[in-house]
Amino acid sequence: MSSPSTDRSPSQTTGLLERLVRDDVDRKRFLKMAGSAGAASFGAFVIAACGSSSKTASTASVATSTTAGASSSSTGDLAILNYALTLEYLETEFYEKVVASGLFTGKVGSLVKDFGQQEMTHVEALKGAVEKLGGTPATKPEGKFPISTASQVAELAYAVENLGASAYLGQAPHIQNPEVLASALAIHTVEARHAATFGTLVKRPVTPDGAFAAPADMSTVLAAVKPFLA
């Protein structure tokens, strides 16, 4: 088997990422080829997050059914796609509630709506990828977000977007399929730009970790996300 560096030149990689971000048709075709099968580690993530409630049983069932028939060599990649999908569900719900609150108007309000639409697009793309690979998309969790003042929400958005960017970066070393990796990085950079925008708004560092962004593993993300699960 040839190495990724042999199969793809820098120009080919750049073209792939540009098409993924800019062209919806190429993105759908790209996602259709991405990764394959399984969600065992995702199931463990959700079970830990939700505790022993009745919701846990149904989520575990979804994870088990997704894993069935999966090839062991690609289980990790689809698990990561479903893990990312769960985070995108939460981010989308967060923005929906922020927009509904009416706390932001004018240019900032429009920007918040745009960010929400982009998170929704991430959800649709990730769901489509999982389904086309023969898997079952992660169950949409019910979120709970404190929505009080504009400043409080902006600070929360800054934290949420930085967490999302760190979560994608944390999974990068575990992704085997180069197409799945490119997809994750294409979303990661958007999450980071969202975070930087809110950082400017609340006068916080736009690069909180300096020259190199810090990745976050699943357990770290779990600890941060758990308070936002209903």
Instruction: Tell me what pLDDT residue 39 has.
Output: 31
Instruction: Tell me what pLDDT residue 180 has.
Output: 82
Mark residue 83 as left, alpha or beta (left: phi above 0; alpha: psi -120 to 50; beta: remaining): alpha
Backbone angles phi, psi at 221, to 5 degrees: -65, -40
Are the C-beta atoms of residues 46 and 79 closer than 8 Å to each other?
Answer: no
The tokens of 190 are what? Answer: 């958007």
Query: Domains in the chain, ordered, with CATH?
Result: 4-228 (1.20.1260.10)
Separation of alpha carbons 64 and 53, rounded Å: 17
Instruction: Tell me what pLDDT residue 75 has.
Output: 59
Instruction: Tell me what pLDDT residue 178 has.
Output: 86
Burial class of residue 128, CB neighbours in 10 A (0-12, 13-18, 19+): middle
Instruction: Tell me what pLDDT residue 30 has.
Output: 39
Instruction: Tell me what pLDDT residue 42 has.
Output: 33
Instruction: Tell me what pLDDT residue 47 has.
Output: 31
| Number of residues in the chain | 230
Q: Which residue has the tokens 């706390």?
A: 103
Cβ partners under 8 Å of residue 98, min gap 6 = 104, 112, 116, 147, 153, 157
Average pLDDT along the chain, 230 residues, taken 10 residues at a time:
42 40 46 35 33 34 32 63 95 97 96 98 90 85 94 96 96 88 92 97 96 93 89
CB atoms within 10 A of CB 178: 15
CB atoms within 10 A of CB 68: 11
Are the C-beta atoms of residues 111 and 166 closer than 8 Å to each other?
Answer: no
Helix, strand, coil percentages, rounded to 5, for the chain: 75, 0, 25
Torsion angle defined by CA atoms of residues 47, 53, 58 and 61, in that order, rounded to the nearest 10 degrees = 40
